[in-house]
Structure 1
Amino acid sequence: MKLNPKLPLIGVLTALATIALASTLLPPQEDFNPSNPYWNGLMEFTKIASPSIIDAATYKPDPKTTILFVIGPSINITEKRIEAWRRYVEDGGILVLMDETGSINHALEILNIKVRVNGHVMLDPVFYYNSWRIPKITDFRDDKLMGGIREIAMDIPSVLEVTGEVKGLKILAYSSSFSFLDLDGNGEPSKGEPSGPFPIAVEVKYGGGSIILFSDSSIFINGVIGLGDNIKLLKNIMGGRVAVIDSGVWLKTPQSQLREYVLTAYKVICTTEIKYSLILVTVILIYMLTGRVGVVEVRDEVEELMSKHPDWDRRTLEMLREARGKYEQ
């Protein structure tokens, strides 16, 4: 008996469905992903702030009611994106930039803000949580954004450098006087390495809005947001606005991209029109792929008999096939 040629297709479709399901059920692991439940993700941030996830280069949120977070940027900091940020802030939006690598410096230059992220790691051997790499910040200079905050935690941060006169600049917080920049990367204070206090957070009035800059992208990740008063800091800077995250600055893994496609497709499928149309198409496909297997097998049997006995009457065999079919029903 011949193998139904449609069975491999069924196997392929089943495998694709299994892969799509697995990509959706397995949580993503890349840094700052809002669905990542591990140390480096933003799931706790998402639970608190309920942010919308957008690409700010193509979609502009309402600048009067939202606050736009750019957390840990690594790619796509193009002039088009920076111009979108500029228009958003000038129209009254609040832009929060969080970076310790210096990746955001290109945007600060284009925006003509004379503040830079140093890029070297800042450690503190006296004021820290679990290690020198998680400094404790206790020196705050603004009653509005930092009101009621006694300490915040940072995770392998850098520091900010004010490189010139900045109109509307306000330094929000400093590291301790014991902190230092680990220029040689040995984890210890060495001769010639700068010591604190260093600015680690500033606010710059810009057009009708403002830009808040932190020298650390990890203040609100799952493993750090629960330390100190980090949650209160988040609520303070949001100030009742609706949180939005620009996800266009992150490098996405293939699993994360597939997960997004599957979830988007699921949302589309759940619409009433698509849902019932898909059910109809599925029924038709099931019939086409499986409903005629028995007929194919019987036809193959008739052909096999004719090949062995070419002198037999085909019409008689076909009549016997039909009669057997009626009997089996």
Structure 2
Amino acid sequence: MRVRGYEITYPRILLAVLVVTIVTAGGVGLSTSSTAFDTYNPGWDGTSELRDVAAANASVEIEQSTVAYTQQSPNTTTAFIISPTTSYAGTDDERIASFLSQGGTVVVASDFDSHTNPLLAQLGVETRFNQQLVRDERHYFRGPDLPVATNISSTPLLENVSRLTLNHGTTLTPGPNSTTLTTTSEFAYLDVNQNGSLDANESLSERPVVVRESYGSGAVILVSDPSIFINAMLDAPDNRRFAKNLAADADTVVFDYSHRTGIPLAVGIVLSIADSPLLQFLVITVLVGVCATAWTRRGLTLWWRDPSPAADLTDPGLSHTEITARITARHPEWDDDRIERVARGIMSDESNEGKE
């Protein structure tokens, strides 16, 4: 089969399908992540659903730099810092501190990483993550390592929340000026030696898992298990509602990925361009240059021309003179010798097809 003079065969069709499949798969791979807690990770340990929850009522921004804290309206913005993988340094803490002092809210969700407590110390926040596994053999979701926090304070942040479900989380040591919003049941304990059982040196007690600490005109909300927000746990009781409440009063929700790895390559490039006026100018300049160059090329100009003067050259029954006339109409820039060679080639192809 021929289309506009081009032979379409089954191998070529299969090749085209393969190319489209590879390009599509590559695009998906470059725009998704498999890193835990990443908002572009749709897997069980990603937080893509948390991003959707926030986007239901607010503008969502994924940020790769703490400069973003200086570009937001603090009173209407809630930022999420989820289990950072690198240390905050330099002026990072100053930007966050200024954001908080002016009325911003920062949700810090962590458990065992080595970067969150130092950040809290830099900010002057007094609450700390214990970084020891909390278990509850009486009140749990699917096992003692998934304890259910049953003591819920009456506060807008916990409206319509009767419990929270952890997944291998820890607990918090509240600062003197903080408020405990949620605790485990009285049967929870810290598994200090991680042997999966209650030992003589491990005691049962209610243990804080959500704490609010005021900071200037703003507040830090500390959550002792980032797994509350992953896709696999968001529908455990009552994690999704808690996530909605955290974002409910914000016009903008910022996911601070300035100190987390795993942002997909394509997303990272787009975010970098969006954050840099210089890169935006360069990209626009390059695109305009490419389009201008392509537009002036004779081949592109001819491709857009009305094809009616030079209908399909392979119409059956065309004579050599008619084919030559149509080639000339389509390619007026060709010389006579080239037109003649192409016309003979077409006539030869049609003759061969008639013999098959």
* TM norm structure 2: 0.68
CA distance in 1, matches of 2:224, 2:146: 13
CA distance in 2, matches of 1:145, 1:47: 18
CA distance in 2, matches of 1:238, 1:273: 38
The equivalent residue for 1:306 is: none
The equivalent residue for 1:300 is: none
Q: 1:64 to 1:184 in 2, by over 3 A?
A: same
Q: Which segments of 5 or more consecutive residues in structure 2 lack a partner in the other structure?
A: 1-19, 301-334, 343-356
| AA aligned opposite 1:327 | E
Asked if the contact 2:63–2:271 (Cα under 8 Å) also holds between the matched residues in 1, the reply is no
The equivalent residue for 2:168 is: 156
The equivalent residue for 2:240 is: 231
The equivalent residue for 1:114 is: 126
Stretch of structure 1 that moved more, 279-288 or 147-156 = 279-288
Q: 1:323 to 1:79 in 2, by over 3 A?
A: closer
CA distance in 2, matches of 1:34, 1:286: 46
Query: Displacement of 1:142 after TM fit?
Result: 3.5
Alignment pair present for 1:243 and 2:256: no
The equivalent residue for 1:25 is: 28
Q: Secondary structure at the match of 1:145?
A: helix
The equivalent residue for 1:63 is: 74
Asked if the contact 1:76–1:248 (Cα under 8 Å) also holds between the matched residues in 2, the reply is no
Query: Which of 163, 174, 184 is 2:183 aligned to?
Result: 174
The equivalent residue for 1:47 is: 52
Q: 1:46 to 1:285 in 2, by over 3 A?
A: farther
Q: In the TM superposition, what are the counterparts of 1:203-282 in structure 2 within 5 Å?
A: 203-241=212-250, 242-252=252-262, 256-261=264-269, 278-281=290-293
Query: Displacement of 1:261 after TM fit?
Result: 2.3
Deviations 1:123-153 (A, max 9, x none): 1112111222221111012332223211111
Q: 1:94 to 1:263 in 2, by over 3 A?
A: closer
The equivalent residue for 2:156 is: 144
Query: Displacement of 1:49 after TM fit?
Result: 0.6
Asked if the contact 1:24–1:263 (Cα under 8 Å) also holds between the matched residues in 2, the reply is no
Query: Which of 74, 78, 83 is 2:85 aligned to?
Result: 74
The equivalent residue for 1:327 is: 340
Q: 1:20 to 1:250 in 2, by over 3 A?
A: farther
Asked if the contact 1:23–1:259 (Cα under 8 Å) also holds between the matched residues in 2, the reply is no
The equivalent residue for 1:88 is: 99
| AA aligned opposite 2:216 | G
Asked if the contact 1:42–1:221 (Cα under 8 Å) also holds between the matched residues in 2, the reply is yes
The equivalent residue for 1:104 is: 116
CA distance in 2, matches of 1:136, 1:284: 67
Query: Displacement of 1:260 after TM fit?
Result: 2.8
Query: Displacement of 1:235 after TM fit?
Result: 2.1
The equivalent residue for 1:301 is: none
Asked if the contact 2:134–2:171 (Cα under 8 Å) also holds between the matched residues in 1, the reply is yes
Q: 1:41 to 1:90 in 2, by over 3 A?
A: same
Asked if the contact 2:79–2:255 (Cα under 8 Å) also holds between the matched residues in 1, the reply is yes
| AA aligned opposite 1:183 | V
Query: Displacement of 1:205 after TM fit?
Result: 1.1
CA distance in 1, matches of 2:255, 2:100: 15
Query: Displacement of 1:200 after TM fit?
Result: 0.8
| AA aligned opposite 1:261 | I
Q: Secondary structure at the match of 1:85?
A: helix
| AA aligned opposite 1:24 | G
Q: Secondary structure at the match of 1:59?
A: helix
Query: Displacement of 1:78 after TM fit?
Result: 1.6
The equivalent residue for 1:12 is: none
Q: 1:272 to 1:104 in 2, by over 3 A?
A: closer
Query: Which of 128, 131, 134 is 2:143 aligned to?
Result: 131
Q: Which segments of 5 or more consecutive residues in structure 1 lack a partner in the other structure?
A: 1-16, 289-321
CA distance in 2, matches of 1:70, 1:187: 29
What percent of counterpart residues are identical?
A: 23
Deviations 1:141-190 (A, max 9, x none): 2332223211111111111113x5x33x1100111111111111222222
Q: 1:228 to 1:327 in 2, by over 3 A?
A: same
Q: Secondary structure at the match of 1:249?
A: coil
CA distance in 2, matches of 1:101, 1:284: 60
The size of the alignment, in residue pairs, is: 276
Deviations 1:12-50 (A, max 9, x none): xxxxx9988644312311011112111111111111112
* CA root-mean-square deviation: 3.3
The equivalent residue for 1:191 is: 200
Q: Secondary structure at the match of 2:34?
A: coil
